[in-house]
Amino acid sequence: MKQEIRICGFGGQGVVLAGHVLGKAAAAYDGLTAILTQSYGPEARGGAARTEVVISDRSIGYPRIVSADVLVAMSQEAFHKFREDIREHGIVIVDPDLVIDHQVERKTYRVPATRIAEELGNKITANVVMVGALTSITEVVTRDAMMQSVLETVPARFKDLNRRALEAGFRAGEEARSVEATLALTGE
């Protein structure tokens, strides 16, 4: 079992933190191995930010994500930049309010993470909503592991907000799965 996950968006959305909690959930709580790659440079200063996480049940050599199993896109620019790099059986998860144009020849899940986070009181947690959705859509890590990882990572005073964000993300992922399944059945 090896899953390569690319999370991308714009600077300030917490894309690297999202990758970090995912890697930590896998390694510290699910007994897997994870490697995270993050970029600095022009990309990391406002443009399209990205992080890649490779998760495996065995030791990982050197990561080289050229094509991903899962692409999570939180901005239109990042989506356009990375849309090509998805495996044939890979999936796409987008925030449809930020990635308006997201037609691809891949299984696509729509998770309005930023709107959900705003409804919970702080759109800064959109990244946590998104990793919650990623968790329930892909099951690459367990929900328990992800919850522990998030709560271990965020400052004490934000724990409650982030717990609610993650739970909302789990539910949003389930909804996105059932919508995707319905669209697949009706041939859309």
- Interacting residue ranges for a second copy, rule: CB under 8 A: 23-24, 26-28, 32-42, 44-45, 59-60, 62-66
- DSSP bridge partners of 94: 73, 110
Residue type, position 159, single letter: K
Q: Of 12, 14, 58, whose CA–CA distance to 34 is shortest?
A: 58
Query: Using only C-alpha atoms, what is the Rg of the chain?
Result: 15
Residues in the chain: 188
- Of 69 and 95, nearer to a second copy (C-beta) is 69
**Residue 155 CB, nearest distance to a second copy (Å)?**
12
Tokens at 51, concatenated = 């992080």
- Of 6 and 102, nearer to a second copy (C-beta) is 6
- Of 65 and 161, nearer to a second copy (C-beta) is 65
Residue with tokens 């990244």: 127
**Residue 64 CB, nearest distance to a second copy (Å)?**
5
- Of 39 and 177, nearer to a second copy (C-beta) is 39
**Residue 33 CB, nearest distance to a second copy (Å)?**
4
Residue with tokens 């919850």: 147
**Residue 25 CB, nearest distance to a second copy (Å)?**
9
Question: What are the angstrom distances between the C-alpha of 153 and each of 146, 162, 176?
Answer: 11, 10, 26
- Of 39 and 142, nearer to a second copy (C-beta) is 39
Alpha carbon distance 147, 131 (integer Å): 10
Q: Of 57, 67, 68, whose CA–CA distance to 141 is shortest?
A: 57
**Residue 169 CB, nearest distance to a second copy (Å)?**
21
